[in-house]
Amino acid sequence: MNKALKFLLFSMLALAVVLMTACGSDEETPPAEQEEPQETPAAEDTEEPAEEATEEAGGVVNLYTSRHYDTDRELYELFTEQTGIEVNVIEGKGDELMERLDREGAATEADVFITADAGNLARLKEKELTQAVNSDVLAANIPDKFRDDDNEWFGLTKRARVIVYDKDRVDPSELSTYEALTEAEWEGRVLIRSSENIYNQSILASFIELNGEEAAKEWAAGIVKNMAREPQGGDTDQVIAVVAGEGDVAISNTYYIGRLLNSEDPEEVKVGEQVGIFFPNQDTNGTHVNISGVTVTKHAKNVENAIKFIEFLSSEEAQFVFADGNNEYPVNPEVEVPELLQSWGEFKEQDIDLTILGDNNARAIQLFNEVGWK
Ligand code: FE2
């Protein structure tokens, strides 16, 4: 069988399995639903199809992504229409795709890798799985703080890590800052996931930068003291637990609330409607924001196409669709924020370069261990 055709068939198979097992979440599929969709036997049967495919008209770009939304696929089709470059997509969980990229080494087919969190992108860079891209288009479309200092990764969408509260039991006037959640009045009322999660590592990494290590550690210890239960599950599980009355507030990324509100399951919509979103630290150093982003892989065989593809995703035309598919904020400041997110109001962001989240990651993990945040 033609190798490019084999790759296409495998992509379709992997996609079908992903759709069956993990629809509606990116890197946060609950453990019970994880079936390592991309590790079908066919995965080992892909022998550098990209190289010969580049000689075809328009060529290809091979993408590993932890996102799987119909809107993303529509964008890839639009890119193909505009450039003649085919986009081959392998979808999977972020961690597993990262491991796969690492394992495949120089033999990988992946030209482009999309995943959540600047911390994860920094990890890819640290493992020398990324390469620098110097593009005037990307520099113009993506603000400096959402790009790697060495241009080895680029943010594509933005999310805020906010306080979510039960509308019946908490009045937003009681809320102010992340730090205030460590006070005695919140004892036994705070829900937040495990410190093994990159989102929490990144928020603590941001506090190390903004407030210093001592204050960051104090915050982590204070949250542990006020936890409603031992950390378990993902962000959505914390929000569900708020509505179930296990606690009164949760720390969650914004798009999970968007997913609940847009769910086809009326019970999930009810959960989304029962909670309010509060942007903390508006009078101090701002709400923590992070990105999902993209990198050209170190061993990309189709570098030019990869760069064209990323430039396209950063364009005004693509940015709204890309962000809207996961209820996120576009990184391109020229692009309108999706309506639902506008309804949550504007907010002040932390003013830090997200490269710092990677720099402070190891220290953040250490602080979590020191204060016993599981
Ligand atoms: Fe997520």
pTM of the full predicted structure? 0.85
What local confidence, expressed as pLDDT, does residue 333 receive? 96
Rounded distance between C-alpha atoms, residue 4 and residue 133, angstroms: 26
How many A from CA of 235 to the centre of ligand 1?
8
Q: How many CB atoms lie within 10 A of CB 250?
A: 28
What local confidence, expressed as pLDDT, does residue 182 receive? 98
How many A from CA of 299 to the centre of ligand 1?
27
How many A from CA of 44 to the centre of ligand 1?
28
β-bridge mates for residue 77, sequence order: none
How many A from CA of 159 to the centre of ligand 1?
9
How many A from CA of 25 to the centre of ligand 1?
7
Cα atoms found within 13 Å of the Cα of residue 112, Cβ hemisphere only: 30
How many A from CA of 316 to the centre of ligand 1?
24
**Amino acid at position 123, single letter:** R
How many A from CA of 27 to the centre of ligand 1?
5
How many A from CA of 117 to the centre of ligand 1?
9
Residues 347-360 as b or e (16 or more Cβ within 10 Å = b): bebbebbbbbbbeb
Reduce the DSSP state of residue 126 to 3 states and report it.
Answer: helix
What local confidence, expressed as pLDDT, does residue 8 receive? 52
β-bridge mates for residue 88, sequence order: 62
What local confidence, expressed as pLDDT, does residue 68 receive? 86
Report residues of the chain scoring pLDDT below 50: 1, 13, 15-56
Count helices and strands in the chain by DSSP H and E runs: 16, 10
How many A from CA of 49 to the centre of ligand 1?
31
User: Quick one: tokens of 176?
Assistant: 């102010």
How many A from CA of 261 to the centre of ligand 1?
16
How many A from CA of 120 to the centre of ligand 1?
12
Radius of gyration of the chain (CA): 21
DSSP per-residue codes, 339-354: HHHHHT---PBP---T
* Residue of 95, 160, 87, 151 lying closest to 125 (CA atoms): 151
Q: Extract long-range pairs of 17-21: CB within 8 Å, 24+ residues apart.
A: 18/68, 18/91, 18/92, 19/68
